[in-house]
Structure 1
Amino acid sequence: MDFTPDDTQAETTALSARVLGKSADAAEQWRALAGAGLLALALPADLGGDGLGFAEVAARADRSRPRGCRAALHEPSAPLTTVPDTVGEAADGVWQLTGVKTGVPYAADATRILTPVALPGGTAVALIDPCADGVDLVRTPSSGGSPEYTVRLAGVRLADTEFLRDRSPGHAVATLHRFALAGALALGDGLLAGALALTTRHLAERTQFGRPLAAFQAVAQQIADVYVAARTVHLAATSAGWRLAAGLDADTELDVAAYWLTDQAPAALATCHHLHGGLGVDREYPLHRYSSAVKDLGRAIGGAAHRLGRLGERVAG
């Protein structure tokens, strides 16, 4: 398998870096991404998009956290659940939805919230307006301070056309989980690579006893461990994304990459902080944003123990 980015993917990555580098404000970044056409990469041409696939979207995702449609993937004590306790019941010619979703990022700013629900005879993904009657958004804390919510649904009314239905049992929910996980991996890959680059530059520029910190053997060994972790996550995430973009079965690769990210990234970021010394915990220095985002991302995909359990179940059949 050749994971070398093609010209389109390379240009997408470069354009994303240029656009995002112009401002640190999330709202301005979002508008700039839209202005550059980077939010329409995967839309079909008849809807004004470029008709590209996951590989091109991932090239942008590892550098940004765009908003639009958000996904309500978790329920209390059930990350990425495939058997939702949120249910829909037919009433008066419409569906009424009841349940609780947790850890929904940017829910208040979303156009629609993609919400897995159980319906009579199977599952579906509901398209819920966060401003609809019966929707209650409760802000909850996150490590990085990004908006995150518990979404409570109490008799939310939806028409039959406001659902993504299953082509086969569990298809809609599984597809949502698959692409959400792949996007999280692309973002996590970028976060770990960014923290590595920041730390490597610091070690090359900071001197002690007349020598760059990178020249000390113990320091070199520790940053080498971070490099190995970053490259391992990158390879696993790229392999999973490549299979997904090629239309191949990527579920095992996604589970492997998710485990590596949740297991390796937190320890790697802790080492980056250690190698920065006191500067690593300074609020004015950007490293804390990488580590906070990694913590939130790891929690969003269930944590290392959950991911290892999912991988074990898949391997065991």
Structure 2
Amino acid sequence: MDFTLDETRQDIAGLTSGLLSREVDFERPAGARGYDEQVWHALGKAGLLSLALPEDLGGDGLGIGEIATVLTELGRAAAPVPALTLALGLLPLDRLGTPDQRAWLLPDVATGDALVTAALNEPSAPLTTEPKTRAVAENGSWLLTGVKTQVPYASAATRVLVPAAVPGGVGVFLVDPHAEGVTVTETSLRLDGVFVSEADQLQGVDALGTMHRFAVAGAVALGDGALAGALALTKEHIGTREQFGRPLATFQAVAQQIADVYIASRTVHLAALSAVWRLSSGLDPEPDLGIAAYWFAEEAPKALAICHHLHGGLGVDVTYPLHRYYALIKELSAWISN
């Protein structure tokens, strides 16, 4: 099977990579919302946040495959932006949102002016299919009560997609993280009788399953790029750093270790591409999605440990970018595997 990117995705990858090389400045402090808003708005201005939107909302009518390409490049650059929200918020809102919800939120998400994320994890219950958070009907509206954990950019979000148990199943609701009854603590969300209207409920069959598939596919695509970026950085280092008058790369032990990182990276890449391709083609993405998630969570942190080892003390220098890849991979692997 040929997993070479088609011309459209090659163009998207090139556009994203070029923009990030110009815009990312790691010396620029994060904005008030916890990320580099300048880079995020630049991505929006370039049309990279609106790829999956339908044409009537100013998008290109593309999907998870093209968004995954953007995510991979964001990971490759370790860009300090809320990348995962594209899979957690934008894609499920576009798929499951009502016409009014989509028209209200998606154009601002596409420009970078609004942020939508999702609360898929609960205490001791990651990616739960049976949320303990409950939605109780009251006078034509809903009251939500429960606790969500590991909610990326919860405090910066315009809305959070919150799955909750409803009579007969699971509903997904748009919740304002600053509404009365909502307490945000870092990446945790506590809901105490939070009022949401009927207009805040998303529609669609298997809404929670759709959100889970988009979330995991987006995470492995982002992680694929991060691992590739760390590999490239380490290859450059051992190719130019000398010991005993020779580049580190010429030592057999070093060559064997970087080969292990390469194998891990290429395997994650293949598994992520396969899972995303099946998902974008309307096919069942399992077991490919599970394999990609498992391999990334199991092998990527080990590969980063090797990268750190090959860098020596430089790897933990705050002025050197390797620690950014380590932090991103650690966060993603914990999120996927928990």
Give the secondary structure class of the aligned counterpart of 1:161: helix
- Separation (CA, whole Å) in 1 of partners of 2:47 and 2:278: 25
Correspondence for 2:3: 3
Contact 2:294 2:337 (8 Å CA) reproduced? no
- Note the 1:270-289 alignment, pairs <5 A: 270-289=305-324
| Structure holding more strand per residue | 1
- Note the 1:218-229 alignment, pairs <5 A: 218-229=253-264
- Note the 1:97-108 alignment, pairs <5 A: 97-108=144-155
> Which letter does structure 2 place at the counterpart of 1:264?
E
Correspondence for 2:287: 252
Correspondence for 1:20: 20
Structure 2: tracts of 5 or more residues without a match: 29-35, 75-81, 86-114
* TM-score after normalising by structure 1: 0.90
Correspondence for 2:241: 206
> How far is the alpha carbon of 1:21 from its aligned partner?
1.6
Instruction: Give the alignment partner of residue 29 of structure 1, picking from 25, 31, 39.
Output: 39
Give the secondary structure class of the aligned counterpart of 1:165: coil
Give the secondary structure class of the aligned counterpart of 2:191: strand
- Separation (CA, whole Å) in 1 of partners of 2:257 and 2:334: 25
Indicate the larger mover: 33-42 or 277-286.
277-286
Instruction: Give the alignment partner of residue 304 of structure 2, picking from 241, 251, 269.
Output: 269
> Which letter does structure 1 place at the counterpart of 2:220?
L
1:154 and 2:189 aligned: no
Correspondence for 2:112: none
Number of matched pairs: 291
* TM-score after normalising by structure 2: 0.84
Give the secondary structure class of the aligned counterpart of 1:105: coil
Correspondence for 2:202: 164
- Separation (CA, whole Å) in 1 of partners of 2:331 and 2:170: 27
- Note the 1:1-317 alignment, pairs <5 A: 1-22=1-22, 23-24=24-25, 26-64=36-74, 65-66=82-83, 67=85, 68-139=115-186, 149-167=187-205, 171-303=206-338
Give the secondary structure class of the aligned counterpart of 1:104: coil
Q: 1:216-235, CA deviations, whole angstroms, 9 ceiling, x for partnerless residues?
A: 00000000000000001100
Structure 1: tracts of 5 or more residues without a match: 140-148, 304-317
C-alpha RMSD of the superposition: 1.1
Indicate the larger mover: 197-206 or 277-286.
277-286
> Which letter does structure 2 place at the counterpart of 1:157?
F
> How far is the alpha carbon of 1:133 from its aligned partner?
1.4
